[in-house]
Amino acid sequence: MADLDASTPRVFIARHGETEWTKNGRYTGSTELLLTPDGEKQVSGTASHLVGSKKLVDPERLVKVFVSPRKRAQQTFTLLFEKEGLKLDDASGKVVLEEDITEWDHGMYEGWLGGEIRSSRKERGVVGEKGEEEWSIWRDGCEGGESPQQVAERLDRLIAKIRELQRPCMNGEQAADVVVVAHGMSLRCFVKRWLGYPLDMPLALMLSPGAIGILSYLKHDIEQPAFFVGMSLPPL
């Protein structure tokens, strides 16, 4: 099983570490926040265990790293890969700042708590497109920000790029792993679109700040994208 894990191209999704707004649950899109000291420790801890030669995320096996342009994502990338010599201005073009994986544009909800959004909508008599009074970002999007369709469209563009990179390497012809460094909401959306699900499909996903998740394909088949519930790790 370990050989199958390594030979089929993988996509590692890395969430940025904790920020002050991550701690209290505020919707954070375009606001530029840096990691807290604990957030830096989260990412550094992940890097020490999982990133490096012969480890789960081996820089030698990477063909591309897509990083959200937000500062918290760039900082996370640096903490993950600084000891491996991989930099944002990498001359090889292996590292790309990718606007399509940035966080959901929350519009007027930027910096709000979920309860504040729901209270405001109720007070103003705002209902969803289908008449629902209870707000769901997955269905209703954000006033003055992005709709689920807009988020899905840009994530689909990125997924198409990744599939083209990995398509020629489905049977281990060469290493073709990809890393995506981004945000809690955009990465959960990314997983849904990777699997071909609409964003409003109920699918409870958890990705801790500073954590890494894994996507790949069933049976070496690019038409069967899959989510790793668990996988074997390389020996130390």
List the binding residues.
28-29, 72
- Residue 57 is classified by DSSP as B
Distance CA 186, CA 12 (A): 14
Set 103, 106, 146, 183: catalytic member: 103
186 with 102: CB under 8 angstroms?
Answer: yes
What are the distances in angstroms from CA 167 to CA 160, 174, 199?
A: 10, 11, 25
Active site residue 40: no
The strand order across the sheet containing 62-67 reads 95-97, 62-67, 177-182, 11-15, 212-217, 225-227
- Helices 148-166 and 184-194 meet at what angle, rounded to 10? 60
Active site residue 133: no
3-class secondary-structure state, position 179: strand
In the annotated binding site for substrate, the residues are 28-29, 72
Strands (E) in the chain, as ranges, are 11-15, 62-67, 95-97, 177-182, 212-217, 225-227
- Residue 100 is classified by DSSP as G
What are the distances in angstroms from CA 158 to CA 37, 65, 161, 165?
A: 31, 12, 5, 11
- Residues listed for the chain: 236
Residues forming the active site: 16, 103
